[in-house]
Structure 1
Amino acid sequence: MQYQFQFNSVLAESGFIMQGILLTIYLSIGSIILGSIIAILFSALRANGPRWVGGLVDVYVELLRNTPFLVQLFIIFFGLPSIGIRLTADQAALLAMTLNLAAYSTEIIRAGVDSIHRSQIEAGLSLAMTKRQIFQHVIIVPAIAKVWPALSSQFVLMLLASSICSFISVQELSGVTAIIEQRTFRSFESYIVATLLYLVLALTLKVGLLGLGRLIFPRVSGLSRVQVKGEAA
């Protein structure tokens, strides 16, 4: 039997699909910003804080990196109400995505921090820079620049992982697609459209992050050299 594609009924829900896209973007951008702030803070605590604080950060990182994101999401949405903390589905999704991304980003930034040569820190000390100034100007900025491609990839993965939030009835793109499929009974067409939209969102974010890296780290990272070689070619 030859299958007949019928996208009209799916595309008729374009307004509903757009709502899902906007929520996906909101959750992704929100978790990227908040997760990055937490990751930088944890990196500072690892570098300058007491050893026991660094140990707590290590426990947090290993715990979230070695447990499924879906389980973390369920603990936040279904578990926290048992201790009196109630969050909406969207709030739980944003919190889970932020905490998960912060753990991965902290470990990625750690690799960048470890790549900073001791002589650079000693040079900062010789200039009478404070620990905060050394961390800000000598350590963290060059470290993030070196690992920016890896961070960018993690950000894109987090955008794609937002689809898991549909398990707690968050109506982001994946959740909206499931509802449209139930309404139209066009499973193949619904998920083809969702796949293409996720592809567009992921590629757009990837290109945007590459441009942001060139803007923020024009000389520290290798991103500017990639641009120069591309222009020369």
Structure 2
Amino acid sequence: MIKKCGNEAYNDFKHFNFSGLKGQTTVSKTGLHFYSSKITLVFSCQDKDFIDDIIKSLFSLPEVKLNGLSIIPFSVELEPEIDFEEEMKYICLSPLILLEPEFSDESAKRFIHPTSPEFKSLLIDAINQKTDLLEGEEIEFLPDENYLRKLEDSGKKYSRVYPLYENDVPYEVRGYTFPFVLRAPITLHKFLFECGLGLHNDKGFGMLDLATVVPGSETIPYFNGPLEN
């Protein structure tokens, strides 16, 4: 979609984030099966021109095919503005990645407990790679320990190994999905919410959402495709 926009300035642009396709699904040995007539992709970026170019590029296609799934672009809705505070509770819409994969090296699959000092240190390193908003500031990262404990006690997982592709080369990385509280400057909250937390946000990792729904925070129409019209 980026190349189809025709804007060379965006060829290497990576300051965007997106979720997986949200809908009614089941998993089988042959893959992921969608049973919803409508599915949603959450996309986020601080550059409005980039978003508009992506929308125009997407809606210029009659359909998008992903393996056996045919997707017809339908409409775009805009999320309401959020009043950020210094302390916010988030959930992960997509897995949080902390380690860079390397060829013939499986260290990126290593498990790091979310409550450990190493986890927070890697998280800060990932933030500093993308922005200087944290410079000289302290943050507190507080995973929901009750949530982690319940999943650990029941044998369920909040971390898995996921595929990641770099120049068509497949890698495997460990990703984490769990709720947490973050205490940080408001400007940093806004940046992370719009651009993603952790590594490889432009590949669909590290997208955040609020842990609680704000009353009256409904989406508003932004763009209607040809089917809507």
TM-score normalised over the length of structure 1: 0.21
- Greater share of residues in helix: 1
- Greater share of residues in strand: 2
Whose relative contact order is higher, 1 or 2, with alpha carbons under 8 Å and at least 6 apart? 2
TM-score normalised over the length of structure 2: 0.21
